[in-house]
């Protein structure tokens, strides 16, 4: 990357209503191959940041660069073609389609053989291979998250944004999903992980950002944030973000 950041968010202000900014001057960066976690209280702007990066929300001011190119204002389909994917917290699979059909839908913009891509996903998520003909709507919450990640990975992105992948899951399923997130990252995909389970997320992250009132209040290495008394008191007491 010639020492360039893979992703850089510079002084971004953004919101859903004119003149009402949820993000108030966010600065944020991701290096190639990194796993970067975003934590903070409800309403801090975590999901809004993810949507702004992926083109679902256009910043009012500031800019976003990806692979050294300004992507501010681009639509999501244009950003996907640049090598970035986003997995929302809800409505992230096609429930009436089978697991295998969901994966095929994930690669609809690619004109390449799908069999090797599907094999890679099934090797990474063996549970999906076992359920390849099963309708996605009948999967457990954890299996749906795995399928949503697998579908995004069919595009072989260099950056994957995950918005609250552990939300509403049982502790056992949370652990399984986090293990899969780590495996995806170790295979070479950079990840932005927006997460309520702050402790688990920071434990496996290269770096983390604490958002507060739409600003990047604290940032640092994941292990440093885990050991930061201020972060611990505010966000880690109950293991929640």
What is the secondary structure of 74-119 as a DSSP string?
--HHHHHHHTEEEE-SSS-S-TTSBHHHHHHHHTTT--S-SHHHHH
211 beta partners: 216
Mean pLDDT of 208-227: 92
Q: What percent of the chain has pLDDT over 70?
A: 96
Number of domains, the chain:
1
Tens digits of residue pLDDT in 178-193: 999 999 999 999 999 9
Mean pLDDT of 147-155: 93
Tokens of 109: 């913009």
Q: Return the pLDDT at 237.
A: 58
Q: Which has more confidence, 149 or 233?
A: 149
Domain for residue 23, yes or no? yes
Residue 182's Cβ-count burial label (10 Å; 0-12, 13-18, 19+) is middle
Domain for residue 121, yes or no? no
Q: Is the pLDDT of residue 122 over 90?
A: yes
Domain for residue 96, yes or no? no
Q: Report CA-CA distances (Å) from 25 to 57, 117, 129, 163, 176.
A: 15, 39, 43, 20, 35
Domain for residue 196, yes or no? yes
Give the CATH number of the domain where residue 35 resides.
3.40.50.300
pTM over 0.85: yes
Tens digits of residue pLDDT in 77-101: 999 999 999 999 888 899 999 999 9
Confidence of residue 241 (pLDDT cuts 50, 70, 90): very low
Average predicted confidence (pLDDT) for the chain: 90
Domain for residue 193, yes or no? yes
Q: Return the pLDDT at 167.
A: 86
Domain for residue 139, yes or no? no
Domain limits for position 73: 7-91+158-236
């Amino acid at each position: 990357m010639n020492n360039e950041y893979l992703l850089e968010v510079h002084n971004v202000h953004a919101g859903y209503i004119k003149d009402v900014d949820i993000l108030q001057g966010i600065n944020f960066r991701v290096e190639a191959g990194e796993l970067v976690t975003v934590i903070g209280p409800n309403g801090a702007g975590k999901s809004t940041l993810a949507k702004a990066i992926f083109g679902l929300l256009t910043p009012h001011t500031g800019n976003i660069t990806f692979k050294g190119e300004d992507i501010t204002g681009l639509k999501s389909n244009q950003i996907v073609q640049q090598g970035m994917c986003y997995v929302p917290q809800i409505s992230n699979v096609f429930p009436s389609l089978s697991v295998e059909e969901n994966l095929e839908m994930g690669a609809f913009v690619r004109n390449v053989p799908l069999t090797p891509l599907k094999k890679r996903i099934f090797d990474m998520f063996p549970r999906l291979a076992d359920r390849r003909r099963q309708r996605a709507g009948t999967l457990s919450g954890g299996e749906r998250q795995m399928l949503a990640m697998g579908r995004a990975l069919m595009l072989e992105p260099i950056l994957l944004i995950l918005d609250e992948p552990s939300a509403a899951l049982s502790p056992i399923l949370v652990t399984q999903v986090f293990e899969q997130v780590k495996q995806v990252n170790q295979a070479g995909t950079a990840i932005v992980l927006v997460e309520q389970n702050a402790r688990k997320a920071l434990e496996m992250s290269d770096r983390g950002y604490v958002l507060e009132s739409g600003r990047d209040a604290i940032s640092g290495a994941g292990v440093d944030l885990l050991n930061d008394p201020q972060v611990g008191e505010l966000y880690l007491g109950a293991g929640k973000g």
